[in-house]
Structure 1
Amino acid sequence: MQTFVLEGEFIHMIQLLKVLNWVEHGAMAQEVVMEGLVRYNGEIDYRKRLKVKRGDVVEFDGMKVKVV
């Protein structure tokens, strides 16, 4: 599992997916979230504007990141 150091209070889910280079562009990030391919703290979450905060774990396509 990799870690992502959060600067600020939160990062939106689609921004996190782009920053980690798990998707090629924002439209792809929105698509994978809306299709239910992203897990947030172990649960599928369909919210594109979800605020990911420290302590959260995000999973996508066999990859996992903990936000610290």
Structure 2
Amino acid sequence: MRITIFRRLMADEFGSLRAETLSKDHVLSSLGGRTVDEALAAGVPAKEIWHEVCEAFDVPAERR
């Protein structure tokens, strides 16, 4: 998954402002105690990050 697609999915699901805030501030233990932005910078695949975000925020299966 490309990062641009990942960012679009985040904005579609959470709204642009909340997606941006979530990406830089919300620490996910499933990403090694990193935020979305930190995980992306560390090279974690965007698809894996999207999966973890969906799990953490109970995104319905049809929108995953």
Task: Work out whether the TM-score is over 0.5.
Answer: no
Higher normalized contact order (CA 8 Å, seq sep 6+, divided by chain length): 1
After TM superposition, the score normalised by the length of structure 2 is 0.44
After TM superposition, the score normalised by the length of structure 1 is 0.42
The structure where strand makes up a greater share of residues is: 1
